[in-house]
Amino acid sequence: MSTTIGNGTHRGAFASLFIAVAVAMLGIGIIAPILPLYADTFGASRLAVGLVFSAFSASRFLLGPFVGRFSDRIGRKRIMLAGLGLFTLMSILYIVAQNIWELAGFRLLQGAASVMVTPIAQAYVGDITPKGREGRTINLLYAAMFFGVALGPLLGGQLTAIWSYEAAFAAMGGLSLVAFLLVLRFVPADHSRHARAGAERASRLVPLLRVLGDRSVGGIVAYFATRGFWRQGFSAFYPLFAVSILGWTEGQVGTILSAYFFAGGALQIPFGYLADRFRRYPQIVIGSFGAPLLLAFLPFVHATWAIVLVMLAMGGLSALSRASVLAIRTRLGRTHGMGTLAGLHGSSFASGQFLGPMTCGAMADAFGLGVVFPFGCVMGLLGSALAAVLLRGERARAE
């Protein structure tokens, strides 16, 4: 496969993936504001609510590098279809869950499905990204992901407020099915190309331990792991804080969560261009330190308009750093394997998502919901410092 997206086949593949990923992420985002509240209907403790969120990330953490590496050997499309099919099944299982442990188990399966969709779609796009355009191309796909996730909480909160939790889960399933059909019909198959060159590709794959020994890869892992920690801790417990402490409705919670993702989606594309035109390291430092710092203010901000502004700023700063980190990841993927790097990215983010809600849940049980946000701030700043140290080689490379 050539390294340009200028021809019609590649443009069509990218457009199809853009739409399919946006639709799939819309389905995932639908349950973001309601899952903690749904888990609460089973009489779960704060720690158990954190466990439900962490189950999704446990399977992503364990499977990410291996599924990504497998796609480097056999191709991407069939893996994406399997993941989207499993997503569709999950919507039914959420509805029939009888207790908190079944809900956690179904969440575990949904995590396995997700690792077969978004990281593999990113690897597919990486395959057709030309040199020098890493930032704008991969971040265009990321914008689709964020717009989907941004609309999801808004839709999920309103569906639940107007009808029921079951209506939101059904919508998630329907959207996952639409994404499955889009990939099936419009994304070109790539497995025959991988099969023809299977032995050659396998011999060229860089050993995983050598990939992990790359300082820039270590910086990417540190960045996404700590982002997963503080962001998922926020996502798991801000809905409970807003409903129980501030007295908000599910619809208001969905609006707040959507603001973060709208800012990320809207700015991901222009920041992708910045990542291609200017030095990436300063953008990573500014965004990675600025976004978690805003978490410390959340317990003291109660006006809806003020919280929306904080969420917009947090989403924008996150997009600034993430755009450059993704561009670096795509560049490294040409030598280390696109699927391998995308899988490591997903796995590291999932490790933070796994530990964040459980740790924050234990903190909330012990000290109250308000402590979750400054704690997440501290963890985010520590991770940003580690990522900045490991990615200093990128600064030297640019200079």
Domain ranges in the chain? 8-398
Q: How far apart are CA 159 and CA 169, in angstroms?
A: 9
117 Cβ partners below 8 Å, 6+ apart?
21, 24, 80, 83, 84, 87
pLDDT band at 2 (very low <50, low <70, confident <90, very high): very low
pLDDT at 243 over 60: yes
* The pair of three-digit structure tokens given for residue 75, joined into one six-digit string: 């191709």
pLDDT band at 1 (very low <50, low <70, confident <90, very high): very low
pLDDT at 100: 85
pLDDT at 202: 47
pLDDT at 65 over 60: yes
- Taking all residues of the chain, what is their mean pLDDT, rounded to a whole number? 81
pLDDT at 379 over 50: yes
Q: Residues 68, 342: contact at Cβ < 8 Å? A: yes
pLDDT at 191 over 60: no
User: How does pLDDT run across 334-358, given as a tens digit for each residue?
Assistant: 888 888 888 888 889 888 877 888 8
Q: How far apart are CA 268 and CA 291, in angstroms?
A: 14
pLDDT at 9: 56
User: How does pLDDT run across 96-146, given as a tens digit for each residue?
Assistant: 888 888 888 888 888 888 888 888 888 888 887 777 777 777 887 877 777
Query: Which is higher by pLDDT, 38 or 180?
Result: 180
pLDDT at 204: 61
76 Cβ partners below 8 Å, 6+ apart?
120, 121, 123, 124, 127, 190, 339
Q: Which CATH class is domain 8-398?
A: mainly alpha
pLDDT at 308: 86
pLDDT at 310 over 70: yes
pLDDT at 31: 74
pLDDT band at 198 (very low <50, low <70, confident <90, very high): very low
